[in-house]
A = this chain, B = another copy of it.
Amino acid sequence: MPTGLTGRQQFPHRHLLAISALMPWEISFLLDEAEHWVGVNRAHSRKHDDRLGGLTQINAFFENSTRTLLSFEIAGKRLGADVVNMHAAQSSVKKGETLIDTAMTLNAMRADVIVIRHGSSGAVRLIADKVSCPVLNAGDGWHEHPTQGLLDALTIRRRKGSIAGLVVAICGDVLHSRVARSNILCLGSLGAQVRVIAPPTLMPAAIEQMSVTPFTDMDAGLEGADVVMMLRLQNERMDGAFIPSPREYHMLYGLTPERLARAKPDALVMHPGPMNRGVEISSIVADHPERSAITEQVEMGVAVRMACLDVLTRAARGVEGWA
């Protein structure tokens, strides 16, 4: 249920493309809305709500992602939308059609909301500029993955009460990670003190400009952290160009119980999944009954996506205010 935002009227954005475009109160607003859906999803088997009944949601995934697609599909269906998946990774795009033409096609079919994942940074904005309905970025290149940022913030807020003042260490392949980027922006915006930990080859240049403290030594970076957020090491980085080997990576940057001991005793462990157990995270840590929030992140993902789909379609539905 929304808290403390009664004065505000309306979410002022048509699309959800990036955390960087959101004010702190807008982030909090989306998290409050998501709380409502956490409650609904937990309380009932019959989770169905018909507020998006008759609306068409197209999930256009130009890059494969089983989990994120599943999460958006479940979110839309629970809200009553007619959800269709466009598996663009194996589609007309391959036939040489331009991205804009694909966007115009989805628009002409009178989609009411389009969820897009694309391998190129900025591709989602390009589409958003061309269509007449809300667009949700489900990850674009190395740019952003805003619903991941939101779901992680929601997970932390629920576990820790609030985010302001917390020390959050984001650790792994920061360079190629839109998850890291959206989290840095989201948690920073909500007042957390964000650190990033990465090998020198996977640390973005000039990362300090994002108001984070960089560490190449993991032990130092974890010291006193309230939250340890591990990133997935993509398979394609494991082959020598960026790191010597998965084993050596684990030794230097894997989250083990010993290493976690550097963080606060009640530090939260997070991972966006899918995990490489034994590479960036050890199983004992991943499965820790109190410390690990990894499956909670997945649960929050559905709730956050329900909230975003609901909020972004309110204008078209002629609805104001709260869930």
Give A residues with C-beta under 8 Å from B.
Answer: 41-42, 44-48, 53-56, 58, 64, 66-67, 70-71, 73-74, 77-78, 82, 84, 86-88, 90-92, 95-98, 101-102, 104-105, 107-110, 112, 235, 273-277, 294-299, 301-302, 313, 316-317
Contact = CB atoms under 8 A, between A and B. Distances in A.
Contact of A299 (B46, B67, B108): B108
8 contacts: A54-B78, A92-B274, A97-B275, A101-B273, A104-B295, A105-B274, A108-B298, A110-B299
A95 B77 CA distance: 27
A277 B98 contact: yes
Contacts of A53: 46, 48
Given A66-B86, A92-B67, A274-B96, A317 B45 contact: yes
A147 to B, nearest CB: 14
B47 A302 contact: no
A71 B101 CA distance: 15
A84 B66 CA distance: 11
Contact of A97 (B48, B82, B273): B273
A129 B87 CA distance: 31
Nearest to A299: B108
List the 4 shortest-distance A-B pairs measured between CB atoms, nearest first: A48-B54, A46-B54, A66-B91, A97-B274
A97 B276 CA distance: 6
Contacts of A299: 108-110
A64 B47 contact: no
A87 B66 contact: yes
B109 A74 contact: yes
Given A46-B53, A47-B54, A92-B67, A275 B101 contact: yes
Given A74-B82, A96-B276, 20 more contacts: A41-B110, A45-B112, A45-B317, A48-B82, A64-B90, A64-B91, A70-B86, A74-B84, A77-B84, A92-B273, A96-B235, A97-B274, A101-B274, A102-B274, A104-B295, A108-B295, A109-B299, A109-B301, A110-B299, A110-B302
